[in-house]
Amino acid sequence: MATLRDDLKSLIGARSANPLAEKLGITTVGQLLRHYPRRYSDRGALTEIAGLEQGEHVTVMAQVVNANVRSMRNRRGSILEVTITDGSKQLRCAFFNRAKWHAERLRPGKTGLFAGKVSEYRRTLQLAHPEYELLDEMGASAVDEFVSEIIPVYPATEGMQSWVIARCVRQVLDLVEIEDDPMPPELLAAHGLASLDSALRMIHRPPDFDSLDVARRRLKWDEAMAIQLIFAERRKSAVSRPAPACPPVAGGLLDAFDARLPFTLTDGQREVGEDIAADIAQPHPMNRLLQGEVGSGKTVVALRAMLQVIDAGKQAAMLAPTEVLAAQHARSLRELLGDLGCAGELGAAEHATRVALLTGSMTAKQRKQALLDAASGAAGIIVGTHALIQDTVSFADLGLAVVDEQHRFGVEQRDALRSRGAEDTSPHVLVMTATPIPRTVAMTVYGDLEISALRELPAGRSPITTSVVPAAEKPAWLERAWQRIAEEVGKGHQAYVVCPRIGDEPPANNGEGRPAISVLDMAAELAHGPLSELRVGVLHGRLPADEKDALMRGFAAGKVDVLVATTVIEVGVNVPNATVMVIMDAERFGLSQLHQLRGRVGRGDVPGLCLLVTDALDGTVARERLAAVESTLDGFELSRKDLELRREGDILGAAQSGKRSGLKLLSLLRDEDMIADAREAALGIVADDPALGNHLGLAHLVTDLVDPDRAEFLEKS
Ligand code: ADP
Ligand code: MG
């Protein structure tokens, strides 16, 4: 009896199997049977010649209307021109080789499948030397298939046509029966799922559209389970490690800090704070993701957790994605702590601790001191970029690692952090992000983390108004934007101008219109034009770290009026006096990124204004995306919208065309409930059988559908 892991060659012979391996990388029964049809057509609808687009690789079913051989004027030889129709529209096919031979076969009235790449010839679409298969030349079962209602159309490639794949699938389905269903029977029963054998039969040869739904539901479950099993395993292995228990200590630093906090915590900050406090009191590592809108006050939540850890005699590390942000964090933590953070200095409070900053580009002397403070335990808090988790940094006793703006950190870095605890312990990990993530994406991308969210902003926060500036249609509006900046600066405020690229790189000539507006060009243009009266600064990622830091400090101190920058300011930069942001070529940024960016203004008591400048025209998807940013300040709603407007494949990896992806059917938008169910099921299974030793089928499912590369890709996207 054949199984999914059997080699195709021994089953259907090398002649059929070799092309599948070469063209599609398919070598096993399972890989072929999980190469699902891309769509289905009933006979009449298969072709849709009317809907063809240039550049597509298509398979159409059509009838030959006429076929003419003529000799070519400027080349020797002859060409065969064939007109085919699907009843609605005609399409020209051209054959440059063996014209006479093809003409013999392609007689008017013949019906068949034609496949090839759609090109343009004299302003009409055509198929140049398509491959084809005529109905009356096909085998008996193939004709059956055609006479049946629903025809599977497979994702084909050059040299491997849909009908060839269909033939192989038919052959295999006739030969095998899949008896070992990887999914436990209880699960099939509980969720009313079809067996794998019947689901695979139905998806390739659906008797009707209802059974297609049944098949898809089961096969999606396989995909959802494969992903969630990986995360369940990661979670299980992460929490089963020992961690330093840090129960709260009465009368310690945290209490002293709370007593002098200049504001009351929001309900969200308090609730999340309690969850975290309970987690880090445990002798197993916390792995928690804290999502919270820009400005929702994540830093205080993190700091309070760090203080609880310091009270327990351990250290806390805070990782930021950029040096600018690390330096800013160190500054604001020191500010928040006041004399609680100046241990070793004159006037330090009792139990005071120290905040050390460690970045890649400090002077040797500064670096040495910071390393010493980390290793001796003199610093309770060590702030830095990912340089912190390099092996050269040793901690006296690391209890908690806070990772700010997680979307810049990969899973390896998280793992590296976990190995930095003392004596085989793993520190607790708190990951923070201001990029709101829809529930399914969170379950899929951060499936191994517990998730908390801060949904409200602290009271008294000023609203941000967002407007699209269609520069191509209304150039005067752009002039007005610069005036607005001048007015705000006149009132003593500051502004950001954000551009998609730096401008010192060689211009990318990718044939996609003009290159994006650059920071360097923009700054020069503004400084000599509309903003010539103002102090204009330039900030981007390729400046030396000390220069960046000096600039940010200068901007924070009000010594620069307008900061022209790349997205280095996207995360975490906090200058409450900045009230306007103009984003150039706004359509080139992601929705969540735009949301992040605008969160840099309106942080003080003056309302913020964000202007999205674009050349995109009304009615385009680009404008629709910008309109979405304009219409809502709710980051969660935006992230969902982003998911709708972006191809989901970008997240699930199907976009990596050419590389075989096991995740073909699952949709993060539509299958939210299923993913949640699969998550629960996976957690249950892994709790009893962590290595899946009693669920070999499921273990295979994981490796077959989500290879190790893939799992990592999911984490990073
Ligand atoms: P984010 O979540 O974007 O990292 P921050 O932690 O930087 O936000 O907080 C933004 C600002 O709000 C900071 O200046 C912080 O001191 C202030 N803040 C935080 N919590 C509160 C609160 N409960 N009430 C008033 N202001 C707060
Ligand atoms: Mg922050």
Q: Rounded CA gap, 273 and 290, in Å? A: 10
Helical H segments across 380-437, by residue range: 411-418
> Span 9-177: which CATH code?
2.40.50.140
User: Mean pLDDT over residues 474-485, rounded?
Assistant: 93
> Cα-flanking dihedrals φ and ψ of residue 411, to 5°?
-70, -30
Q: Out of 267, 299, 407, 455, give the residue to mutate to test ligand 1, the one with the largest number of ligand atoms within 8 Å of its CB.
A: 299
Q: What confidence tens digit (pLDDT) does each residue in 108-152 have?
A: 999 888 888 889 888 888 998 888 888 777 665 565 555 455 778
pLDDT tops 50 at residue 259: yes
Q: Out of 263, 454, 601, give the residue to mutate to test ligand 1, the one with the largest number of ligand atoms within 8 Å of its CB.
A: 263
More confident of the two residues 667 and 397: 397
Nearest CA to ligand 1 atom 25: 458
Nearest CA to ligand 1 atom 1: 295
Nearest Cα to 638, choosing from 294, 267, 224, 272? Answer: 294
- Which are the contacts of 657, defined by CB distance < 8 A and separation ≥ 6? none
Q: Which amino acid is at 600?
A: R
What atom of ligand 1 comes closest to residue 404's alpha carbon? Answer: 4
Q: Which ligand is nearest to the CA of 262?
A: 1
- Give the per-residue pLDDT at 42: 56
Nearest CA to ligand 1 atom 5: 297
Please give the distance, rounded to the nearest whole angstrom, from the Cα atom of residue 461 to the centre of ligand 1: 10
CB 120 within 8 A of CB 113: no
- Give the per-residue pLDDT at 435: 73
Instruction: Identify the three-state secondary structure at position 508.
Output: coil
More confident of the two residues 592 and 178: 178
Say which CATH topology domain 253-454 has.
Rossmann fold (3.40.50)
Say which CATH topology domain 464-632 has.
Rossmann fold (3.40.50)
Structure-token match 């040495």, residue found: 368
| Arithmetic mean of pLDDT over the chain | 85
> Cα-flanking dihedrals φ and ψ of residue 8, to 5°?
-70, -35
Q: What confidence tens digit (pLDDT) does each residue in 148-169 have?
A: 557 788 877 777 878 889 889 9
Max alpha carbon distance in the chain (Å)? 99
Nearest CA to ligand 1 atom 23: 265
- To the nearest 10°, report the CA torsion of 642, 644, 650, 654: 170
Please give the distance, rounded to the nearest whole angstrom, from the Cα atom of residue 268 to the centre of ligand 1: 12
CB 358 within 8 A of CB 382: yes
Nearest Cα to 671, choosing from 435, 444, 437, 452? Answer: 444
Nearest CA to ligand 1 atom 13: 297
Q: Near ion ligand 2, which residues have CB within 5 Å?
A: 572
Q: Which amino acid is at 194?
A: A
| Intervals of CATH 3.40.50.300 along the chain | 253-454, 464-632
Percent of residues, the chain, with pLDDT higher than 70: 89
- Give the per-residue pLDDT at 321: 82
Reported as a pLDDT band with limits 50, 70 and 90, residue 455 is: confident
- Give the per-residue pLDDT at 540: 92
Residues with C-beta less than 6 Å from any ligand 1 atom: 263, 265-266, 269, 292, 294-300, 434, 458, 572, 574
| Intervals of CATH 2.40.50.140 along the chain | 9-177
User: Mean pLDDT over residues 582-592, rounded?
Assistant: 91
| pTM for this predicted structure | 0.66
Instruction: Report the length, in residues, of the chain.
Output: 717
Q: Out of 257, 266, 300, 464, give the residue to mutate to test ligand 1, the one with the largest number of ligand atoms within 8 Å of its CB.
A: 300
User: Mean pLDDT over residues 31-50, rounded?
Assistant: 74
Q: Which amino acid is at 447?
A: G
Please give the distance, rounded to the nearest whole angstrom, from the Cα atom of residue 293 to the centre of ligand 2: 9
- Give the per-residue pLDDT at 340: 93
- Give the per-residue pLDDT at 391: 67
Q: What confidence tens digit (pLDDT) does each residue in 187-225 have?
A: 999 999 999 999 999 999 988 888 999 999 999 999 999
What atom of ligand 1 comes closest to residue 265's alpha carbon? Answer: 23
Q: Which ligand is nearest to the CA of 320?
A: 2
CB 23 within 8 A of CB 160: yes
Q: Which range, of 371-380, 601-610, 645-654, averages the lowest pLDDT?
A: 645-654
